[in-house]
Structure 1
Amino acid sequence: MEKPVRWGVLGASKFARQHMAPAIHAADGAVLAGLATSDPAKAAPFVAFQPDLQVFGDYEALLAASDIDAVYIPLPNHLHIEWAHKALEAGKHVLCEKPIALQADEIDALIALRDKTGLLAAEAYMIVHHPQWQRAKHLLQDGAIGELMHVEGVFTYNNAADVGNIRNRPNVGGGGIPDIGVYTYGATRFMTDQEPQAITHADLTWENDVDVVARVSAQFDGFTAHWVNSMRMHPLQDMTFHGDEGILRLTAPFNPNVFDGAKIEIHQTGNAVRVERFPSDNHYKLQVESFCQSVRTGAPYAWTLEQARGTQLMIDRVFEAAKKDI
Structure 2
Amino acid sequence: MKVAAIVIGRNEGARLIACLDALAGKAAPVIYVDSGSTDGSVAAAKARGAQVVALDMTRPFTAARARNAGLAVLPEDAALVQLLDGDCVLREGWLDIACDFLTAHPRAAVACGRRRERQPDASVYNALIDAEWDTPVGQAKACGGDALMRVSALRAVGGYRDTLIAGEEPELCVRLRAAGWQVWRLEAEMTWHDAAITRFGQWWNRTRRAGHAFAEGAALHGAPPERHWVAETRRALIWGAVLPLAILLLALLVTPWALALFMVYPLQVLRLSRRGGTAWALFTVLGKVAEAQGVLQYLLRRGRGRIIEYK
Structure 2 length as normaliser, TM-score?
Answer: 0.31
Q: Specify which structure has the higher proportion of helix.
A: 2
Structure 1 length as normaliser, TM-score?
Answer: 0.30
Q: Specify which structure has the higher proportion of strand.
A: 1
